Amino acid sequence: MARRGGAHQGPDGLVVVDKPVRWTSHDVVAKSRGLLGTRKVGHAGTLDPDATGVLLLGVGKATKLLRFLSPLGKQYVGEVRLGVDTSTLDSSGEVTAVHDMAEVTVDQVRAVAAGFVGDIEQIPPMVSAVKIDGKRLHELAREGKEVERAPRPVTIHALEVGEVGPQVAALERIGGAEPTAFAEAAAGGSGLSFQVDVTCSSGTYIRTLAQDIGAALGGGAHLVRLRRVSVGPYTLDDAVPLEQVAPERALPMADAVRHLPRIDVDDALAADVAVGKVLERAALGLAPDDAAEHWSVFGPGGDLLAVYEPFRGSTTKPSLVIPA
């Protein structure tokens, strides 16, 4: 159980939630505040409302560690439907175009998908949390506006394609059936459904990837469903359903930095770390050529004291000192 401490009520640590369908990440945070008995809850990386799976929550002092979790890579499993474009790039939106893609095979999809592996650029969807001129794109979309979005670099580390089934078999979504109007419109198109298993950098939109694959095949596509199976080293095995979130389900602070190289220090050095001193790499037992961007520093009692980063020459400095 995560230790309690500080002025707030509730645990300090990490909660890995298996986000349910039709909940926004903000909704999960709001609900978890009540379940955990503290307002000090934040999340690392938005997950679309219609997607399910791993959502990382920082609680108490661990909210300060979220910036080290947000850039972690992600893995998703999803289902893509060829032949239908939508306004949101997934099955929650309005049908905007229907294409006859009946002749496209899974092998053709695999061949095209291979071209998206590596460093690519994506245009963020209008229905997203990206901010332009201080306003989120989904807010502009609700106002009926569409603005120009600059492409953003992302990396697809791996992309596997497998067949799910043709036509409306793909329209069964997690959490319920498709709206009738959508199902009727989608049935007018022709195209198979296929499964994607994607390992990618933070900031990658699987909805955009689905649309881009469809366009590259000469038609269109949308994402039918999506499940995030991991964020960095945190997987569904770590996750608890939202209704089971409770203080005793919070992982210790150490778990919030399990992806960072660990340094253990003695009492004397712990006192220096606690006041945020700049330290020589050698003092922390680091090699001169250690290329890590951050290190987690723990005291003799096993408490997380700080996260350090490279500084001038052979020195290091704190990115964050955890308050006592």
211-263 tens-digit pLDDT: 999 999 999 999 999 999 999 999 999 999 999 999 999 999 999 999 999 99
Q: Give residue for tokens 């709001």.
A: 30
End-to-end CA distance of the chain: 18
Please enumerate, as own/partner, the contacts of 104-112 that have beta carbons within 8 Å and a separation of 24 or more.
104/191, 104/192, 104/217, 104/219, 105/192, 106/161, 106/162, 106/163, 106/192, 106/194, 108/217, 109/82, 109/161, 109/192, 109/194, 109/213, 109/217, 110/161, 112/213, 112/216, 112/217
Of 46, 50, 32, 55, residue with least CA distance to 231: 55
Residue 314: pLDDT band with limits 50, 70, 90 = very high
Q: Which amino acid is at 251?
A: L
Instruction: Compute the average pLDDT of residues 170-179.
Output: 38
Q: Which pLDDT score, from 0 to 100, does residue 146 have?
A: 60
Residue 311 makes CB contacts below 8 A (sequence gap 6+) with 278, 317
CA distance 53 to 240: 10
Which one of 12, 18, 48, 50 is the catalytic residue?
48
Q: Is the pLDDT of residue 176 over 70?
A: no
Q: Is the pLDDT of residue 173 over 50?
A: no
What percent of the chain shows pLDDT beyond 70? Answer: 82
Average pLDDT, the chain: 87
For residues 151 and 62, which has the higher predicted lDDT (pLDDT)?
62
Q: Which pLDDT score, from 0 to 100, does residue 251 have?
A: 97
Poorest-confidence range of 144-158, 160-174, 176-190? 176-190
Residue 151: pLDDT band with limits 50, 70, 90 = confident
Which strand (E) or helix (H) includes residue 184? Answer: helix 180-187
User: Is 48 a catalytic site residue?
Assistant: yes
Q: Is the pLDDT of residue 182 over 80?
A: no
pTM for the complete prediction?
0.87
Contact at 8 Å (CB) between 284 and 297?
yes
Poorest-confidence range of 54-63, 165-174, 224-233, 277-286? 165-174
Instruction: Compute the average pLDDT of residues 271-296.
Output: 96
Instruction: Compute the average pLDDT of residues 146-159.
Output: 84
Q: Give residue for tokens 């569409």.
A: 146
Residue 150: pLDDT band with limits 50, 70, 90 = confident
Poorest-confidence range of 94-103, 105-114, 134-143, 228-237? 134-143
Residue 149 makes CB contacts below 8 A (sequence gap 6+) with 123, 124, 126, 130, 132, 137
- For residue 102, give Cα distances in angstroms to 63, 99, 173: 49, 9, 22
CA distance 6 to 128: 35
Q: Is the pLDDT of residue 95 over 70?
A: yes
